[in-house]
Structure 1
Amino acid sequence: MEQDAKRPSPTDEKGSASWDDSTSVEVVNYDEGVDVAVDLVAGQHADDAPLDPAEARRIRQKIDWHLLPLLFLLYTVQGIDKGTLGSSAILGIRKDNHLSSAEYNNLGSAFYIGYIVFEYPHQLALQYLPVARWLTFNILLWALFVGLHATASNYGGLFGLRFLLGATEGCVTASVMLVCSMFYNRTEIGERIGWTFQCNGLALIISSFISFGVYHADPKHHPNQWQWLMIITSLMTFVVFLLFLWRFPNNPTTAPFLTPDERISAVKRVQSNQNGIETKTWKKHQFLETLWDPKTWLFFLFAAISNLQNGIGIQYAIIIKGFGFSTWQTTLLSIPSGAVQIISVTTGGLLLRRFPNSRSWIAIGAFVPSVIGAILLMTLPIHNKSGLLVSYYVLNLGGTPGFVMMLSWVTSATAGHTKKLATNGIFLIGYALGQICCTQFWKSQYAPRDMVPWSINLASYVGDWILILALRVYLQRENKRRDAIQAASGKSDNEFGYVERTDADGQVIRQRVEKALLDITDRENMSFRYVL
């Protein structure tokens, strides 16, 4: 929505703006849906000076202190929960529920079927409802459903519970992506999402110790070993629910741990993102733009292909035990996998801080250890169980940081609240499709060498590299196109736009705001530049 206008003064005006054809600015009607931060910053825009770096750093540290511990806890218990099926494979769940190999694999798919079915409803809920409240409600349901796993006695019951579990957990990553885009700038988003995803490695370590502990429970008495694992995970998730209910914020404009002035500074601190905070109005044109945007589908294909590698998420205990280790050894040998994930994601975050516009190169490099690990797992002698185990750890060194870089890329490369939610939803649907498929080619007839699944993994790594390069080339060309348009016009980017509203007397009021608060998309906002 663009009009040619002379830039009004930095104060609100009542229908008296003068206009000039020399400057192009966006003007948005308030009733059509603008950012929630517009009213917060009303009257605060007279001072266009950037936020003092020391103050910006103080605000960021305060946000980190209140937000990150909750996100870390959330992803730790989610990682433990996702690992419960894999851990329980050697703790009696297959025997007690009379599961065949195919049925066990289907339980891994059931989770992501629920994830896909409920992903669009989750995105609609995040559009209209407070983010914190919706996320907190789903954490409560998630705690309930994982606890009910301990009551299951057959394949049908477990399939239904895995479906419901996926349905509730489907909002977690979408909510974290959304919240990070509200509170952090582009480089910080990549680091914070990376730190949060590190907790999957921590979860694997904790889960291994829990599995080792419950392994020593008497299998002749109830609850059984795998049932104790589900109960403990459920209780941990319920504690996280209580903490989120107490302290998790909806957005910076209402964050209880920030003062009114700090909320304004928090909004100003992330204005360079050019994607605003949030808008509680669904916009059809933004949704349609998402469907026509090529990068939406490049991100979708990456998510689907990269997650063909994640069948090991429910197979890891079976894989390690297949190398020739005992059950109790297997419960502990997963710990180094978690440690190498933490190391690799930390390294990726540090590289992003040092090279802020290098998400694509970091992601490509992150998949190299996985390629090496997969080749070693296919070629080392089957009797070399130590070598196979180390190769499995090398495999875990890659992959996760690459996916984290792409997740932060999706979050940073889209503007317009409806478009952002729709893009996130499509990306996560691709993620779930890959997860559904990846469980199906880990069949018992391929063991112990598993040549077919490892070959599929290798092919998917090549697909990842092609898609990452395609995204970089496409977005780099778009940035150059916008630079050329700006250079040809001889004008600098206009950082401000106007919100138009009508008062009780029928007078039109124009309020100057940061362009990011107009809730315009990355394709509409020619000031937007894509991170690479």
Structure 2
Amino acid sequence: MGTESIDEKYISGSSDDLTNVNPELLKGLDVTIGIAAGHANDDVMSPKEAQRIRRKLDWHLLPLLFFIYTLQNVDKGTIAASSILGLIKDNHLTTNEFNNLNSAFFIGYLIFQLPQNWALQRFPAGKWIACNLFLWSLFLGLMATCHNYGGLFTLRFLLGASEGCMITGIMTITSMFYTRTEIGERLGWIFQCNGVGVIVSGFLSFGVFHADPKKHPNQWQWLMITTSLITFVCFILFVLFFPDNPAKARFLTEDEKLKVVKRIQINQMGIETKQFKKKQFIEALTDVKCWLFALAAAIAVLQNGLSVQYALIIKSYGFTTLQTTLLNIPSGAVQIIGITSCGYMLRKFPNSRAWLSIFWWLPSLAGAFVQLFLPFSNRNGHLIAIYIINLGAAPCFVMMMSWVTSTNAGHTKKLTAHAMFLVGYALGQILCTQFWKKKYQPRDIVPWTITVVTYCVDIFLVLVIRYVLVTENKRRDALQAEAEASGKSLDEFNDLGYLDTVDATGKAVRVKVERGLMDVTDRENLAFRYVL
């Protein structure tokens, strides 16, 4: 479209709006483009006003996100907690069958990862998460009726399938409302609830332990029923209060919606697009950093067999069942401390995700070495080592998730990158319990050796990812410097772009919008710089 046919008043910024633009020509752009268009030249928001908007978002979004992630950890951990409450005995499970129940969850999670991510783009995100919450509570409640391995395996598979949208949903929603630095910090706050879930699970286990094991429902069945009912309450709250995106957030005024969109334009990632774009899907599959993140996720959670085996491991140190129900509670508190401190350091040093990940992996590595070399008779030392491992592992994974979210732009590409990351996560989770064999007990030398090796591999992968991103940032800086020196156009390096279209009368118009709202990918947008 030639510039001579374009209505120049749109270029000037005096009438930049999409009121009369043909809606068919806006398909594939960001859902908030109608809010943001025409305000590209508005004054920059004051820090005080930006803080007010951020605080309002926090109060309306974070409590529900905290609730859902606490429940996710409690619910998928019911198998681990139930292992000492009669589940294994009542369902006649062997050690391998018990380990397979964790794998069943993540097989369902893996198989449904891509369909769940497709649905998150196709349907309203908040409502889709709520729908899966209902299924999640239903499958969990039905587990209380099981009396054999087959029934438990099937329901664990379905539970994993229904939870497959949760982490991607949380990562996607935070990127809709927050800046890239805030994403890392808030994902940290949300995933602190991993530790809260461990604490809640410990107290729930302690409570149901006092139920009469000779009466029906049994102790482990009470645990399933209780967590199912709590999850149903979360479903109701999500239906009533959780928004699909900033444009649909009922707790925001129209002016505040604009400010939310303007506040995060620095991300260069856009907010949400409902059209699936094959080109962006292929770009994610051919992007080396997406594969590196997926591999790092798979390796990182190979140590996660501990989260399934913890009750059996702690009890093997010589503690009673009642003591074991309480002794993992400090693991949750330590996770909260680790994630909180890591998130605080990210706020102080916002471009240091790689170095923070490596630093927080070191305590976990030390704890795994203690498990290998400390005499087994020192049960208190081994218990403390369990806590030390939890200090580092959780914040490192959180940092990695925020890194994936912050380094991919284009809505389809971002969801695909999330899916790849979580496919790696699911593969690691499927395998993580399979080397905790009965023949290695009680010392578990082989599992702990594998844990040490995986920590070292992940540290190496973090360094590789950082090198790839630094190299690309330098390449873009060099291209921009070359363009400036030669007097070439710098439009492709600017945050603002132009949408050439026609209005409802057929008249050619050019609308100025933030480049991120045009749903371009990080590879297409040379103004994008990767956080490190």
Q: TM-score, normalised to structure 1's length?
A: 0.95
1:284-327 residue CA offsets vs partner (Å, 9 max, x unmatched): 11011111111010001001110101011110000100111010
Partner of 1:246: 240
Partner of 2:20: none
Could you tell me which amino acid in structure 2 is paired with residue 39 of structure 1?
Answer: G
> Which of 108, 113, 118 is equivalent to 2:107?
113
Is 1:393 aligned to 2:396, yes or no? no
Is 1:236 aligned to 2:239, yes or no? no
CA distance in 1, matches of 2:15, 2:483: 28
Is 1:273 aligned to 2:267, yes or no? yes
Q: 1:232 to 1:13 in 2, by over 3 A?
A: closer
Structure 1 counterpart SS, 2:246: coil
8 Å Cα contact 1:324/1:385 also seen in 2: yes
Is 1:42 aligned to 2:37, yes or no? yes
Measured after TM superposition, the shift of residue 30 of structure 1 is 3.5
Partner of 2:68: 74
Partner of 1:217: 211
CA distance in 1, matches of 2:349, 2:504: 51
CA distance in 1, matches of 2:384, 2:26: 59
1:192-216 residue CA offsets vs partner (Å, 9 max, x unmatched): 0000000110111111111011111
Structure 2 counterpart SS, 1:61: helix
CA distance in 1, matches of 2:110, 2:77: 19
CA distance in 2, matches of 1:193, 1:109: 25
8 Å Cα contact 2:497/2:512 also seen in 1: yes
CA distance in 1, matches of 2:29, 2:467: 32
Measured after TM superposition, the shift of residue 363 of structure 1 is 0.5
Q: 1:339 to 1:29 in 2, by over 3 A?
A: same
> Which of 55, 64, 67 is equivalent to 2:49?
55
Is 1:514 aligned to 2:508, yes or no? no
Partner of 1:8: 11
Partner of 2:529: 529
> Which of 189, 198, 212 is equivalent to 1:195?
189
Measured after TM superposition, the shift of residue 50 of structure 1 is 1.7
Structure 2 counterpart SS, 1:475: helix
Structure 1 counterpart SS, 2:513: strand
Measured after TM superposition, the shift of residue 503 of structure 1 is 2.7
1:163-182 residue CA offsets vs partner (Å, 9 max, x unmatched): 00000011000000000000
Partner of 2:377: 383
CA distance in 2, matches of 1:170, 1:495: 34
| Structure 1 residues 101-180: aligned runs within 5 Å | 101-180=95-174
Measured after TM superposition, the shift of residue 43 of structure 1 is 3.0
Measured after TM superposition, the shift of residue 396 of structure 1 is 1.1
CA distance in 2, matches of 1:58, 1:436: 43
Could you tell me which amino acid in structure 2 is paired with residue 520 of structure 1?
Answer: V
CA distance in 1, matches of 2:82, 2:524: 50
Measured after TM superposition, the shift of residue 29 of structure 1 is 9.1
Unaligned runs of 5+ in 2: 18-22
RMSD: 1.9
CA distance in 2, matches of 1:117, 1:381: 42
Q: Which moved more, 1:213-222 or 1:497-506?
A: 497-506
Is 1:326 aligned to 2:320, yes or no? yes
1:102-137 residue CA offsets vs partner (Å, 9 max, x unmatched): 000000000000001111111110111100010000
Measured after TM superposition, the shift of residue 45 of structure 1 is 3.0
Could you tell me which amino acid in structure 2 is paired with residue 321 of structure 1?
Answer: K
CA distance in 2, matches of 1:270, 1:276: 8
Measured after TM superposition, the shift of residue 12 of structure 1 is 4.9
Is 1:316 aligned to 2:310, yes or no? yes
Q: 1:46 to 1:387 in 2, by over 3 A?
A: closer
Measured after TM superposition, the shift of residue 31 of structure 1 is 4.1
CA distance in 2, matches of 1:167, 1:372: 35
- Residue correspondences, number: 518
Is 1:369 aligned to 2:363, yes or no? yes
Structure 2 counterpart SS, 1:367: helix
Is 1:294 aligned to 2:297, yes or no? no
CA distance in 1, matches of 2:424, 2:254: 39
8 Å Cα contact 2:294/2:423 also seen in 1: yes
1:379-433 residue CA offsets vs partner (Å, 9 max, x unmatched): 1111111111111111111111001000000000000000000000010000000
Is 1:462 aligned to 2:456, yes or no? yes
Percent identity between the two aligned chains: 57
Structure 2 counterpart SS, 1:501: strand
**Runs of 4+ in structure 1 displaced over 3 angstroms?**
3-7, 11-14, 28-32
CA distance in 2, matches of 1:247, 1:510: 37
Structure 1 counterpart SS, 2:454: helix
8 Å Cα contact 1:204/1:334 also seen in 2: yes
Could you tell me which amino acid in structure 2 is paired with residue 8 of structure 1?
Answer: I
Structure 2 counterpart SS, 1:360: helix
8 Å Cα contact 2:318/2:379 also seen in 1: yes
Partner of 1:485: 479
Q: Which moved more, 1:161-170 or 1:384-393?
A: 384-393
